[in-house]
Amino acid sequence: MPDFPAATPRSRVRVPLRFDDGYSVDAELVTFHGLTDGREHLAVVLGDPAPGTVPLVRLHSECLTGDVFGSARCDCGPQLREAVERIAARGGVLLYLRQEGRGIGLYNKLDAYALQDQGLDTYEANAALGLPEDARDYTAAAQMLRSLGITEVDLLSNNPDKAGQLRDLGITVHDRVPTGVFTTAHNVRYLRAKVLQTQHTLPLAELTEVSAG
């Protein structure tokens, strides 16, 4: 068993969620004491898993530009919307993790965007700024799951690193369930880089360059 302190629930509150496309669902939002990184991560508990089934879980890293402002430069907003509905239908948890820009922060992410406008891909831009390709650590996510009594999951993710880190942290990942593919004229290079650089499970043949005009 990995050696890290236990977290405990701080508060639980029911919140009705409403999305721009008309989809709505009630969720329980859970906050925590004792998370190792001291950040205000949030668990969004959705639906009720059938007895004997493994909950569907997504680790969703905060993306202000995509989740809130609908930026077309990434696929984060559509992934969040999809995840809420899929998890609610089956029963499980979405962990909303305050790890903007793969953990480098909002300002650094926007600095990296400026370099991408000059031709670098998302990982090259981070490196040019002296930052890691991906600075995220999922210890707090494992703490949150254990606090909710969850030690086995099906993970809704295209990212093999998330599954690998959770397993190393003592969470059993039975299946890694891919998300949808949400391409725009502005995010194709970004998605291709994720496939080529960090082996995300996206259909590379579908991610062809398109004009942003």
Q: What radius of gyration, in Å, describes the C-alpha atoms of the chain? A: 17
Dihedral of CA 80/81/84/87: which sign? negative
**Which positions are catalytic?**
134, 136
Residue 33, both tokens: 């004491």
Distance from C-alpha of 116 to C-alpha of 192, rounded to nearest angstrom? 14
DSSP secondary structure code for residue 64 in this structure:
I
Instruction: Mark out the alpha helices in the chain (DSSP H runs).
Output: 76-90, 106-116, 122-128, 139-147, 160-168, 188-198
